[in-house]
Amino acid sequence: MIGFRDALPVIVLQDRRVIAFDRGWLARVLALAANRAGLADWPLAPHVAESVHEWLRTLTDRPAMSADIFTRAVREALKAIGFAEIGASFAAAWPFARISLVEIAQQAGNGFELAFFAALDLRLREVVRAGGSYCELHSLGRCVKMLRQRRHWSSACDDLRAEIVAFARRHTAHVLGDVGAGRARDLFLHVT
């Protein structure tokens, strides 16, 4: 028998990729939907994400769920608690992309920042071309120390961290502009 993380069903995307549910991700996407609906700083996003998590735990007979069914269920839950406008703005941010900055730094080689930025450029372009609307860049701190070849954080690390975040934001906006000619598209970029 196969055991799933937290005994939750996995979510099957339209391209048949499978992802595990992540409460933090859902809270961030719900906050984004609330912001689109005109409710900036909506405090209930983490609570709704926790409720969805608990609901998924009750589905012991269902090892997988399509992204469409998941999206519909979240929208219905929002409607039931009086936030239909957030439900209407809720896009489940499929496909979900999670990029390891450490992995990119390892591929680029220690101290080779130009190769790192070229590889990050390529990965971000892949996400946008695939139609991604949510991208999480993770392990930024470890990546920076690896590229700077430091065991301990320094002011040079602060500078590189800021440069990586600024590059990702600028570059993502530029690529979206190239790809999305004639149609508005958002990419929610989360860096940890």
pLDDT at 65 over 50: yes
Q: Do 82 and 138 have their domain in common?
A: no
Q: Do 55 and 103 have their domain in common?
A: no
How far apart are the C-alpha atoms of 84 and 177, rounded to whole Å? 30
Which residue shows structure tokens 């929610």? Answer: 188
Among 28, 58, 89, the domain-final residue is: 89
pTM: 0.66
Helices (H) then strands (E): counts for the chain: 8, 6
How many folded domains does the chain comprise?
2
Among 57, 89, 121, the domain-final residue is: 89
Q: Do 85 and 100 have their domain in common?
A: no
Q: Do 68 and 125 have their domain in common?
A: no
State pLDDT tens for residues 180-189.
Answer: 554 445 677 8
| 8 A C-beta contact, residue 127 and residue 148 | no
| 8 A C-beta contact, residue 120 and residue 140 | no
How far apart are the C-alpha atoms of 131 and 128, rounded to whole Å? 5
Give the whole-number percent of the chain exceeding pLDDT 90: 35
Give the range of the structural domain holding residue 40, as residue numbers without chain letter.
5-89
Sheet hosting strand 64-66, strand order edge to edge: 18-19, 10-12, 64-66
State pLDDT tens for residues 125-171.
Answer: 888 777 767 788 999 999 999 999 999 999 999 999 999 999 998 87
| Other C-beta atoms lying within 10 Å of the C-beta of residue 167 | 15
Among 89, 119, 153, the domain-final residue is: 89
Which residue shows structure tokens 């070849």? Answer: 149
